[in-house]
């Protein structure tokens, strides 16, 4: 392997973030509880410098490094920048929440940084091994983060469920990769794609490998019928951890789906397209219908996530540049919406009280008209109501499906979107028309209030001016 093949320069963001995660880990050992703020500030510094390095190393040209295991392209740059930015905001939201529950520990930030590193590796993976290593680095970090509050039995239960089901899904994915390797003789996605394209007739081993890989990807995304872990993990985890799980990892999940199915198995799109159609319909149906029955907001947002995954799959299954761009646009905007939704739960929570039930938002407009409006914007966006960005996200994936002559599938999406509007409007009704049971003012740190306000306003601004982000997504696939 030559130095040119290694090409360390394109991987400086990952190298630096790994170093910073180790620095935070060691520094936290020698930090007392009273000085724990330094761990938080050091973690944020690491993320900010990582963002700068992503900007410096980004290139419009596609660069393959580390003997084919790593790719640096425009897709990787945009997604990595989004992931790191979202994780930095999650840390802002989480600081006061962790302090109030006496779990303001360095482990949260160390695991968060290693999880972010795993997501960045997944985004730039161009090889089965590097992709799987990034996925497992993220997964192991998430398992530990879910069980982070050791005195909480619900968190321990959720972590065990997540670990067991996650291990099964990872095994499925790895088994599928091994089958593809057996047929193609390579782990490099370029060589795999070339070998798949040269197949003159259907190879049953390859098809079975594809099926196992799609199952693994569906689990990581939370698509039905591989969604069982998602509501329990969202509900059982500390809200700070749920906020992390519900936002940035969805972007990484989209990235590995594109790398595996589009770049590696693009020639078999007729086969995986049918599978994604089934997953999309089931996810939109189960997610939107079951969410109606939920009284716990975290579980409601979990089923909402499942329905949104169905819409993301609509873009991917179109198997063209327009659909991939629409799915990317949807993924980025959904991560922003989910970040704001769980941020609102953290905003209303306080020591000894988790604002995770829908009734906990009663009369929010009387307590804080501004943040009630922010939640209204977030709910409207998730429902796909103009002029929020969620409307354009849904419209873009539905247009992509229509353009491949699947009008019936677009109508199915519209039908389940209409059903989903109900539980989002219920939240707005509770905030604006029910009497507040707790009239105390919202007393949160200034940085959290500013970040959450910016989060909500970004949803509105992107809805009014969606062209810039959409153009960026389109440029990635053209």
pLDDT for 1 beyond 60: no
| CA angle (83 as vertex; 139, 128 as ends), nearest 5 | 50
Q: Which residues pair with residue 248 across a beta bridge?
A: none
Q: What pLDDT score does 234 carry?
A: 92
Q: Are 309 and 221 in contact (CB under 8 A)?
A: yes
Q: What does the pLDDT look like over 183-210, one tens digit per residue?
A: 888 888 888 888 888 876 667 888 899 9
pLDDT for 229 beyond 70: yes
> What's the mean pLDDT in 78-82?
93
| CA angle (339 as vertex; 338, 344 as ends), nearest 5 | 95
Q: What does the pLDDT look like over 437-447, one tens digit per residue?
A: 777 777 778 88
Average pLDDT, the chain: 89
pLDDT for 415 beyond 90: yes
pLDDT for 448 beyond 60: yes
Split into its structural domains, the chain has a count of: 1
Q: What pLDDT score does 42 carry?
A: 92
Q: What pLDDT score does 4 carry?
A: 45
Structure tokens that stand for 227 in this block: 């969604």
Using pLDDT thresholds of 50, 70 and 90, give the confidence band for residue 30: confident
Percent of the chain's residues with pLDDT above 70: 98
Q: What does the pLDDT look like over 117-146, one tens digit per residue?
A: 999 999 999 989 999 999 999 999 999 999
By residue range, what is the domain housing residue 211?
3-476
Using pLDDT thresholds of 50, 70 and 90, give the confidence band for residue 2: very low
Q: What pLDDT score does 155 carry?
A: 87
> What's the mean pLDDT in 141-153?
87
Outline where 30-73 has alpha helix (H).
Answer: 37-57
Q: What does the pLDDT look like over 348-387, one tens digit per residue?
A: 887 767 888 888 888 888 888 889 999 999 999 999 888 8
| CA dist list (Å): 221 to 144, 216, 230, 268, 362 | 19, 9, 9, 21, 32
Q: Hey, what's the torsion of the CAs at 164, 170, 176, 181, to 10 degrees?
A: -140
Structure tokens that stand for 110 in this block: 């160390």
* 372 vs 382: CA distance, rounded Å: 15
> What's the mean pLDDT in 403-417?
90
| Greater model confidence, 315 or 61 | 315
* 181 vs 187: CA distance, rounded Å: 6
User: How many CA atoms lie within 13 Å of 286's alpha carbon, on the beta-carbon side?
Assistant: 21
Q: What pLDDT score does 5 carry?
A: 54
| CA angle (113 as vertex; 449, 39 as ends), nearest 5 | 65
pLDDT for 6 beyond 80: no
Q: What pLDDT score does 353 carry?
A: 75
R_g (Cα) of the chain, nearest Å: 21
Q: Are 450 and 379 in contact (CB under 8 A)?
A: no
Q: What pLDDT score does 411 carry?
A: 93
pLDDT for 3 beyond 70: no
């Amino acid at each position: 392997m030559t130095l040119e093949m290694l090409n360390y320069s394109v991987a400086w963001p990952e190298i630096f973030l790994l170093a910073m995660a180790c620095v935070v880990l060691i520094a936290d050992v020698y930090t007392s509880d009273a000085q724990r703020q330094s761990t938080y500030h050091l973690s944020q510094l690491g993320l900010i410098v990582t963002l700068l390095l992503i900007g410096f190393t980004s290139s419009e040209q596609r660069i393959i490094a580390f003997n084919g295991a790593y790719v640096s392209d425009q897709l990787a740059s945009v997604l990595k920048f989004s992931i790191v930015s979202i994780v930095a905001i999650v840390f802002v939201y989480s600081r006061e929440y962790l302090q109030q529950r006496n779990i303001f520990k360095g482990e949260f930030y160390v695991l968060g940084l290693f999880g972010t590193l795993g997501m960045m590796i997944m985004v730039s993976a161009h090889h089965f091994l590097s992709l799987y290593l990034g996925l497992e680095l993220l997964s192991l970090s998430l398992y530990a983060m879910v069980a982070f509050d050791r005195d909480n039995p619900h968190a321990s239960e959720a972590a065990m469920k997540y670990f067991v089901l996650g291990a099964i899904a990872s095994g499925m994915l790895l088994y599928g990769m091994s089958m593809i390797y057996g047929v193609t003789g390579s782990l490099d996605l370029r060589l795999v794609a070339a070998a798949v394209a040269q197949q003159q007739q259907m190879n049953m081993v390859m098809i079975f490998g594809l099926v196992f890989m799609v199952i693994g990807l569906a689990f990581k995304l939370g698509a039905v019928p591989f969604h069982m872990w998602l509501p329990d993990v969202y509900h059982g985890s500390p809200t700070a951890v749920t906020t992390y799980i519900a936002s940035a990892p969805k972007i990484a999940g989209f990235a590995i789906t594109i790398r595996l199915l589009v770049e590696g198995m693009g020639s078999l799109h007729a086969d995986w397209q049918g599978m994604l159609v089934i997953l999309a319909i089931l996810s939109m149906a189960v997610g939107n219908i079951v969410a109606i029955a939920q009284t716990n907001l975290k579980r409601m947002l979990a089923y909402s996530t499942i329905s949104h995954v169905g819409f993301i799959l609509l873009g991917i299954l179109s198997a063209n540049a327009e659909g991939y761009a629409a799915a990317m646009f949807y993924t980025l905007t959904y991560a922003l919406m989910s970040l704001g939704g769980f941020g609102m739960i953290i905003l209303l929570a306080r020591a000894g009280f988790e604002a995770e039930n829908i009734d906990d938002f009663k009369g929010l407009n009387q307590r804080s008209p501004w943040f009630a409006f922010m939640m209204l914007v977030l709910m409207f966006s998730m429902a796909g109501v103009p002029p929020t960005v969620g409307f354009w996200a849904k419209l873009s994936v539905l247009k992509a499906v229509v353009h491949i002559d699947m009008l019936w599938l677009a109508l199915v999406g519209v039908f389940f979107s209409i059903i989903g509007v109900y539980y989002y409007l219920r939240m707005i009704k509770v905030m604006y028309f029910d009497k507040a049971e707790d009239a105390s003012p919202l007393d949160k740190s200034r940085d959290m209030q500013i970040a959450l306000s910016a989060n909500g306003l970004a949803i509105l601004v992107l809805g009014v001016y969606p062209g810039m982000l959409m153009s960026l997504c389109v440029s990635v696939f053209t």
